[in-house]
Structures are given as C-alpha cells and as structure tokens.
Structure 1
Amino acid sequence: MESNPIPIFSTFTSPFEGSPKMSDSSSSTRKPLSLWPGMYHSPVTNALWETSDYILREQYRDPWNEVRIGKLLEDLDALAGTISVKHCSDEDSTTRPLLLVTASVDRMVLKKPISVDVDLQISGAVTWVGRSSIEIQLNVTQPATGTAEATDSVALTANFIFVARDYKTGKAAQVNRLAPETESEKLLYEAAETQYKLRKMKIRDDHKVIEIENGGPNRFEALLAEGRIFCDMPALADRDSILLKDTRLENSLICQPQQRNIHGRIFGGFLMHRAFELAFSTAYTFAGMMPSFLEVDHVDFLRPVDVGDFLRFKSCVLYTERENSDQPLINVEVVAHVTRPEFRSTEVSNRFYFTFTVRPEAKAKNNGQRIRKVVPATEEEARRIVERMDADSWQSVMHVKRISH
C-alpha cells in the first residue's frame, strides 16, 4: 500500500450550513474532530515503541519475549477509529459529527513473529467506502534484522470496517467519498469493492450455502457419529478425540468507564484484547503446550456494549486441522454475551474467531504430543463447526484474491 493516504472529497454539506457560527470564545474550547478518538485511547501512528523506551516496551512484552497480540489489537482498532473519524470530518467545527462504530474485522494474518525489542510502526488508510461504510487497511511493519540495510517488512495486515450512523436518528449516514489516484490505490479499491459485493451475496445466500455446499444432513451425521460414542459408550471412544464441550473456558467482567470510547460505549479494541487473551488460554489448555498465534479469522460486532454492562466471554475449540503434523491448526471461537441479571436477559454482542498453532520446539519438549480432534455432541455444535469451516474456506479464497491485487 502506498505510504500516502488516498485523498478524499466531501459530497455533502454541513447540516448546520446557514446557521450562525460559534463565537471565538466557545469554539476555542472545542477539540477538533480529528482529535476526538484520542481522548481515551490515543494511537501512535509513527512508532509504537522504540528499543530505547524500556518502560513502553515492557508494556507489550509477553512471557515468551514477544509482543502481546491482544494489546496490539487495541492499538489497531484505535488507529482505525482515528482514520475513520478524520475521513468523515471537515474543517467546520460546527458540523455535527457522525456516530462511527466498528462493524467487523476481516481476516487478520500474522505473517511473521513480532519482536518486542525492535521498533514497530502501524500505518493505515481508507481503501474503500460505500454509502455509509468505510474499509480501512492497516499494516504493522517491523524492520528486518540481520542485514546491513534493514528495510521495513509487513508483519501483520488487517482490514477494519466501520459504519456511520446519524447521532440523532441512529440511521445510516453518508460518508465522504473516496478518490483513488494511483494504480495501487485503484487496485485496492477494486479488490475491496469486489469483496464487499461477495460478502453481501454470502449473507443473503447463507442458508443455501449451508444446505448445498456443506453436503446437507450427511455431513452433520458424520460429525455427530463419533460424538454419540462419547456420550453413549465413553469407554470405547477414540482417545485421540475430545468433545467440544470439554474444551470450554469462560470469564466475566463489569465494563468500566475507563474502557469507553468517545461515544461512551466500550472500546472495540478492549473487547478484542480480552477475547484474544481467553482464546489464547483456551488453546493453551487444549494443546498442553504454548500456542502460537496465526490469525484473527473474523470478528463480528453485533451490538454495542455499554459502561456498567456485565460481560461474559465464552470460548471453545471449534475444530482442529491436523494434516500438517509439524504445524497443526487450532480454531478457537469466543462469544461475548451482555448479561442483564435484573431483566433476566442475555444477548450476544460479539463473535471472535482465532487460529493458533504450536511450535515444533514446543512439541519436541512434549515428546511430539498430538493435537486432538474435536467432535460435537449435539446438532447445534455440529452446525457451528460446519458453518465455521465453510466461512474459513471462503475467507481464505477472498484473502488470496486480495493479496493478488
């Protein structure tokens, strides 16, 4: 992606056009719109840390001397939020700002381990806009080591999708348009446009996809067959397999004011951070050895989370891929629920999907311990596994197409 951001231009006027301007005394106390996302979680766009800044570096160090991915996810969401607000703002401080929320995060792939002892940079730009949606591509780069002339190399790429709502009505609101100029910008725009259309088509035809591509009831039956043995004849069950329900972990928290964004809602990056920590723990206890993060498959933000909400994170290993014995894959699902005990209600607010593996050196220390196969015990569990397998396959195809552009 080009280092220079794609230029934008406004196609609509301020809703306050024609109204009297604010006086100098009142406008002097108002922060520019472009700075609003930094009120609670100000991202650093040049260098996330420098090797000379020991205190900052230690905040990102994990027990294995690598970067805490969960904390990095917070920074990515914060920077994406800043970019989306800047894209939608104008130079008129009287313009009513839009309500911008994270709708989803597309596949986020870790291309190489990120060292905590080397300078890191996060950069991003708007690559595509719809009528009320914005897609932002972020790159995490870290200089290559061991060469005389170190050049920046991409360690992680992420695509965030934000949607705009009118503050008063809550309805979809138009956003500034995009004017790609360079060939690279045009290719990025076209790739994002294609993926947007395919995503809408997939949502519309989701039910048909499950019935046709998944092979219908036969595929569910094949998954359930082994699970029934665990339930009915546990002594005869395959010891190389485990029931999905036996991989579950859970934690809970009360959402605090310090975790809110500029709109007073809980910061999406904070939710991603907490979900990642639970997913990592789930993969750790499942594999019996330290997992290694590979990618965030997809994140859905289904409903906002407010300050004071009782939030419950529930995780499980959905399925494993064991074809490559040196790098088996562990696919973990984390579902966040907003629970309201006083109303005896609970709603799903977020769904997160992560992929981990285990390192060869970790397997060597555990005498080559094999990763188990996960099997469902109910039709609902089988359906979730099948849907996720197909969604991952679809995203893999889309990811390859995006890279080819």
Structure 2
Amino acid sequence: MMDSYSELVLPFGTQKDLLEQYINASGGLRVGKLMEHLDSLAGSISYKHVLGPGVHMFGTMQERGFFIVTAACPKNNSLGRLDMLLPLFRHNVRDLRLSGHVIHTGKSSMEVVVKIELLGGKEETVLLGRFSMVCRDAFTQKARPVPQLKLSTPEEQALFDMGAAHKERRGVLALRSLDRVPPSTEEVGELHQLYLNYGENSKRNYHTERVWMEDTSLENCILMFPQERNVHSKIFGGYLMRLAYELGFTAATLFSHRHVRFLSLDGLSFSHPVPIGSILRLRSKVALTAVSEKYPALVHTIVEANVVDVATGKELTTNEFRFTWCDDDGEPLARRVVPRTYQDAMECIEAKRAVDMGDEIRRIRELKAKLID
C-alpha cells in the first residue's frame, strides 16, 4: 500500500513569495487552489500504483497503453469527498504537507485517500478526503485491470476494508437516488413542513426572510485554454474543481450576507471530459440552509458545469460539485432558502442527505479522536 505514497510540501513558513500566491482576502488560504493540488496528487498516486514506485516518467499514453481518469459516474453518485477538520491558519503561518496513497483496488478502479497536514510544532491533519480513479486502455477506451494491493499489516487491511465500504456505499446511494426512486416518507414530511412554514401563502416565521432557490443562482462562463490541459489533452479536473469552489463560495457568501468557511466537498460527479477551446458555463445555487449542534449556520451549494455547443447553443453537463459552508461563531441565518418547483424540492432533499452524511462523518471522527486521547 505504501508503494503508492506521494507527498507535496508547501513551505509557507519560510517562503513568503509562495504564501502570497495562496493567501485569500481574509488572511486564510485559497482552499480551491489546494483542492486543485489534491486532485493532481490523486492522479499521480494512481499512476505510481500502476507503474510501480521505481518509475518516474510517464511518457505518452500510446507508449504506456493506458491512462487514468477520475471515474465516470452519473449525477448524485459521488466520486470524491473532502472534509475540513480544522480551519487553515490566518495568523500562525505554518508549512503544509499534502499526501496520500491507494487504499483499495477493484478490477480497474482505485480508491485514493488524501490529506493535508500542518507541519512545524504539533503535526495536525486539517483536511481529509478521497478520490475514485479508474484505469482505461489507451486504444480501446475500455476498463483496464490494475495491480491488486498486497496487504501487509492489520492497519492496511482496515484501510482496504474502508475503501471497500466506500465503494459499497456509493452503490447503495445510487439506488436511493431521487432520479430513480421517490423520497422517503420522512423526507416528504419534512418537505411539507417546509411548505407550511415558508410556502408562498404562509404567515409563519415572519422573522425569517424567505428566498426562493431559483433566486440564488449565479453564473460564470469561461473559455477553456490549453494551459489548463491534463496528459489526455482535456481540461484538468482540479482546475474545474477550483472554479466550482470559488463560484460556490461566492453564492454562499452573497446569500448569507457574511463570510463563510469551507466545511466539506460532499459530492463530485463526472460525466464527460471538457475539451480545450470549449466554453464552460458554471451555474451555482443555494440548495439548503440549516443549523447543527456545532454550527449555527450551514449553507449547501450546488455547482453544475456545462459545456456549451457554440453552433447550436445546446449544453452538455460534465460535472456537478456539492459544497457545504459554515459559520463557526455567528448567529443563525436570518434567511431561509425555499424550493419553489418540484425539481428544486428534490435538490433540497439531496442537499439535506449530503449535509446529514457530513454531520455523521464528523461525529464518528470526533468520537474516534476522543477514544484515542
């Protein structure tokens, strides 16, 4: 398992010029740029697993006979997840280490775990996540087998089992997708209560401003340049993730009327590659506002990426990203996003599922941390 281990150290503590490239307007770090690195790192880790740790140059797809991409999947079937465990520094500047390795292999798929750690003093993990990658034949485009993991320790077996559980959970969630089956009775009840409290003719909750989901929409159109290409001469997925992150943050900030902090990337779906020279239309919307035991304000945004056919004006959805943002020490939001159409209502339910899963993951990690201490 450790044969695929790779890391990247960003020496922010000693290289101020480097830090300047990553600093954001509030004195923190541009998490979107770090996501871009993590996606690239996951790809490098996958190639290292397939080629072996002794190979340092990939060459061309034709020479190797294969290529690796983020696994394709339908909408609402997530291929990746990132959770922010601690806020990144704003005042105490420290070096960062980005690292990861393969923890599970299928016939042609790989589950890659990645993390970001603070160095200097007490080492702390600030972000933890995973990506699903797949190997393809360079000539037939069909799935190509990858080397299977050799497990050497009980710890590696536990990680492998975790990767298998992630894969199984994706299958279960796909079967529960609202594109296939109706919402549960409990979800219908919650949606009806939302209608009673915030519907068009409701007189309740007059202290909370109702905002229709459709009115939270933001859009950005960007020309895809060759400088952002990957080894397959398509637009690099990490670059798309950064664009989506920044638009999602903007939508959450404008809606909440306050500065919000990234909490998690709850979902990443990939349907089609983005060609060089294409026009990419990014659309974001706020799908859910909520509170939790730990966070007085939570905002969930969806960002959809579409390639626009210039000749016909038709659009093809390539990616969907789901982000949750939080406010640690503020008051609950004075605004509530409300679905107006049935499609918006289904997106609201999907957002609630994502936020609930994130809460459960954080509770489990906090419980494990307490048991270790």
Which TM bucket (shorter chain)? 0.7 to 0.9
Distance 1:216 1:259, change over 3 A: same
**1:87 and 2:58 correspond:** no
Return the index of the structure with the highest Cα Rg. 1
Q: Which amino acid aligns with 2:82?
A: M
Query: Which residue number corresponds to residue 101 of structure 1?
Result: 69
Q: Which residue, 3, 6, 19 being the options, matches 2:2?
A: 6
Kindly state the Cα deviation for residue 85 of structure 1 after the two structures are TM-superposed: 1.0
**1:138 and 2:100 correspond:** no
Distance 1:227 1:251, change over 3 A: farther
What TM-score results when the alignment is normalised by the length of structure 2? 0.85
Q: Which residue, 272, 275, 286 being the options, matches 2:241?
A: 272
**1:185 and 2:147 correspond:** no
Q: CA–CA distance in 2 between the matches of 1:107 and 1:84? A: 17
Q: CA–CA distance in 1 between the matches of 2:155 and 2:18? A: 34
**1:355 and 2:331 correspond:** no
Unaligned runs of 5+ in 2: 72-77
In the TM superposition, what are the counterparts of 1:1-400 in structure 2 within 5 Å?
5-7=1-3, 45-89=7-51, 96-103=64-71, 105-115=79-89, 117-143=93-119, 150-206=121-177, 210-211=181-182, 213-215=184-186, 219-225=190-196, 228-229=199-200, 239-324=208-293, 327-360=296-329, 363=330, 368=331, 370-394=333-357, 396-397=359-360
Q: CA–CA distance in 2 between the matches of 1:217 and 1:46? A: 46
Q: Which amino acid aligns with 2:336?
A: K
Q: CA–CA distance in 2 between the matches of 1:373 and 1:111? A: 26
Distance 1:46 1:207, change over 3 A: closer
Query: Which residue number corresponds to residue 75 of structure 2?
Result: none
What TM-score results when the alignment is normalised by the length of structure 1? 0.79
Which moves more between the two structures, 195-204 or 121-130? Answer: 195-204
Q: CA–CA distance in 2 between the matches of 1:348 and 1:225? A: 34
Q: CA–CA distance in 2 between the matches of 1:233 and 1:212? A: 23
Q: CA–CA distance in 1 between the matches of 2:361 and 2:65? A: 33
Kindly state the Cα deviation for residue 292 of structure 1 after the two structures are TM-superposed: 1.2
CA RMSD of aligned residues (A): 3.0
Q: CA–CA distance in 1 between the matches of 2:313 and 2:297? A: 41
Kindly state the Cα deviation for residue 395 of structure 1 after the two structures are TM-superposed: 5.6
Distance 1:217 1:294, change over 3 A: closer
Is contact 2:103-2:160 (8 Å) kept? yes
Kindly state the Cα deviation for residue 204 of structure 1 after the two structures are TM-superposed: 3.1
Q: Which amino acid aligns with 1:98?
A: F
SS at match of 1:169: coil
Is contact 2:81-2:131 (8 Å) kept? no
Distance 1:398 1:112, change over 3 A: closer
Distance 1:132 1:345, change over 3 A: same
Is contact 2:305-2:318 (8 Å) kept? yes
Q: Which amino acid aligns with 2:279?
A: F
Distance 1:288 1:199, change over 3 A: same
Which moves more between the two structures, 349-358 or 195-204? Answer: 195-204
Q: CA–CA distance in 2 between the matches of 1:240 and 1:322? A: 16
Q: CA–CA distance in 1 between the matches of 2:80 and 2:346? A: 22
Q: Which amino acid aligns with 1:259?
A: E
Distance 1:237 1:352, change over 3 A: same
Kindly state the Cα deviation for residue 237 of structure 1 after the two structures are TM-superposed: 7.1
Kindly state the Cα deviation for residue 288 of structure 1 after the two structures are TM-superposed: 0.8
Is contact 2:248-2:303 (8 Å) kept? yes
Is contact 1:6-1:180 (8 Å) kept? no
Kindly state the Cα deviation for residue 208 of structure 1 after the two structures are TM-superposed: 9.7
Is contact 1:214-1:390 (8 Å) kept? no
- Percent pairwise identity: 29
CA deviations over 1:195-242 (Å, ceiling 9, x no partner): 21222133134359853635475555444456651xx689x9774321
